[in-house]
């Protein structure tokens, strides 16, 4: 009983039942295990609250979704994709980690890594543009996280500076996996079942955010890993230029610019970075620079990769 008033901790509890047998009880985290604090942000279907685990005093971001709203807006699939995708991406410092999920009669709860310093977009807006050193550091961390996702068969499909959060060390935490695609899963049931012909060519209804959408998503509706690398190219450009490469007064005109590869570099755009962007913003996904070649590109000369990249001190933004 003492577990109850302390709030059930997650894990196994040994008990002896009435027949004297030792039984194992699974204790799941619940709302009672947390003290909820300030609102960190609002989404279309969610509120993200700061929260502290009452036993361990660890801080989290808890994303709370209203069940009725989710069902009314037909977002059940997205919520379950976000959960399943985050559960596959647990071992990387550059991806927001999902610790627990639970629900009560009204809401669903995602207990996530707390990213204290908000969105990369906010920092970029404050700075105007990043210098090359800062761009190299942040894009290297983003690329490392994309590589990990892709190795686990996950395509993010909506990469953009708003979805790159920053933790207390100003390190990257990629979020927002509700529109991700898990490769090799049957799109209809999102399970591992056999793919028959109809599933393969089924057009994927989801399209990301206009400025970062890849041309193949606009023409033949299918996202692939290279689609994330197109978005990555847009992010490299945007950090250095202070604006995304394809931006028009409305979505349709933005799409026109994308499929027409209609973009220019501002004066003073660093030539080595320009070369990298030009090899990423390529209409044919098969001709886009693949992951290993990006890491070996001159722009990332002297950049350390692997675990050391995540121990590196974030450069001061100037
Ligand atoms: N792990 C986190 N740590 C700190 N802040 C977060 C975290 N996750 C989300 N936020 C903030 O909370 C806000 C809402 O995020 P959420 O993912 O719920 O919705 P969204 O994806 O931003 O919006 P939409 O659902 O419309 O796409 C965002 O602005 C984000 O900055
Ligand atoms: O318990 C699980 O692991 C799976 C459930 C599945 C699930 N139950 C739901 C109920 C409702 Cl009303 C809406 C959605 Cl999206 C629902 N998704 C779940 C619970 C919590 C969260 Cl955050 C996501 C999915």
Residue-wise pLDDT for 230-278, tens only, equals 999 999 999 999 999 999 999 999 999 999 999 999 999 999 999 999 9
43 lines ligand 1 (CB under 6 A): yes
Sign of CA dihedral 315, 242, 144, 277: negative
Which DSSP symbol is given to 95?
B
- Which is the closest atom of ligand 1 to the Cα of 47? 18
**The pLDDT value given to residue 5:** 43
**The pLDDT value given to residue 192:** 53
Active site (annotated) includes residue 228: no
165 lines ligand 1 (CB under 6 A): yes
Which of 79, 105, 190 is the best mutation target for the ligand 2 pocket, counting ligand atoms within 8 Å of the beta carbon and taking the most? 79
**The pLDDT value given to residue 201:** 32
**The pLDDT value given to residue 24:** 86
**The pLDDT value given to residue 188:** 64
Phi, psi of 71 (to 5 degrees): -70, -45
Tell me the CA–centroid distance for residue 6 and ligand 2, in Å.
25
**The pLDDT value given to residue 274:** 98
Joined tokens for residue 113: 């890594």
CA–CA separation, 160 and 234 (whole Å): 8
Joined tokens for residue 102: 């639970």
**The pLDDT value given to residue 187:** 62
ipTM of the predicted structure? 0.97
Please state the pTM of the whole predicted model.
Answer: 0.90
Helices 132-151 and 225-241 sit at what angle, rounded to 10 degrees?
A: 170
Residue-wise pLDDT for 197-235, tens only, equals 433 333 366 788 999 999 999 998 889 999 999 999 999
CA–CA separation, 51 and 17 (whole Å): 35
Tell me the CA–centroid distance for residue 43 and ligand 1, in Å.
6
**The pLDDT value given to residue 222:** 85
**The pLDDT value given to residue 13:** 80
* Residue 114, SS3 per DSSP: coil
- Which is the closest atom of ligand 2 to the Cα of 76? 15
How many Cα atoms within 13 Å fall on the side-chain side of residue 278? 9
Residue pair 3/9 in contact by the 8 Å Cβ criterion: yes
Report the DSSP beta bridge partners of residue 173. 165
Tell me the CA–centroid distance for residue 173 and ligand 1, in Å.
12
Query: What is the mean pLDDT for each group of 10 consecutive residues in the chain (318 residues)?
Result: 47 85 88 97 96 97 98 95 96 97 97 97 98 98 98 97 98 96 75 44 67 94 94 98 98 97 98 98 97 98 96 94
Query: Which of these, 116, 98, 229, 112, lies nearest to 165 by C-alpha position?
Result: 116
Residue pair 135/208 in contact by the 8 Å Cβ criterion: no
Query: Which of these, 89, 90, 91, 93, lies nearest to 310 by C-alpha position?
Result: 93
């Amino acid at each position: 009983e003492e577990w109850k008033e302390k709030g059930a901790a997650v894990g196994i509890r040994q008990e002896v039942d009435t027949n004297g047998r030792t039984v194992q009880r699974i204790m799941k985290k619940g709302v009672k295990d947390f003290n909820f604090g300030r609102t960190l942000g609002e989404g279309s279907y969610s509120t993200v609250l700061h929260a502290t685990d009452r036993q361990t005093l660890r801080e989290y971001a808890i994303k709370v979704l209203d069940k009725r709203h989710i069902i009314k807006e037909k977002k059940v699939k997205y919520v379950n994709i976000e959960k399943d995708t985050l559960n596959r991406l647990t071992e990387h410092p550059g991806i927001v980690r999902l610790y627990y999920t639970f629900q009560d009669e009204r809401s669903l709860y995602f207990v996530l890594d707390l990213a204290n310093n908000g969105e990369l977009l906010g920092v970029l807006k404050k700075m105007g543009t990043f210098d090359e050193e800062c761009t190299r550091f942040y894009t290297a961390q983003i690329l490392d996280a994309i590589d990990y996702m892709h190795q686990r068969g996950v395509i993010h499909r909506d990469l953009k500076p708003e979805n790159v959060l920053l933790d207390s060390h100003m390190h990257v935490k990629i979020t927002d996996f509700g529109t991700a695609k898990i490769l090799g899963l049957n799109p209809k049931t999102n399970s591992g079942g056999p793919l028959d012909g109809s599933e393969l060519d089924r057009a994927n209804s989801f399209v990301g955010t206009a400025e970062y959408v890849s041309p193949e998503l606009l023409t033949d509706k299918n996202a692939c890993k290279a689609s994330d690398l197109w978005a990555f190219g847009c992010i490299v450009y945007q950090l250095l230029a202070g604006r995304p490469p394809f931006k028009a007064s409305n979505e349709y005109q933005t799409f026109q610019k994308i499929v027409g590869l209609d973009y220019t570099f501002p004066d003073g755009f660093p030539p080595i970075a320009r070369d990298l962007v030009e090899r990423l913003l390529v209409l044919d996904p098969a001709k886009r620079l693949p992951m290993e070649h990006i890491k070996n590109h001159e722009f990332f000369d002297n950049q350390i990769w692997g675990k050391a990249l995540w121990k590196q001190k974030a450069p001061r933004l100037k």
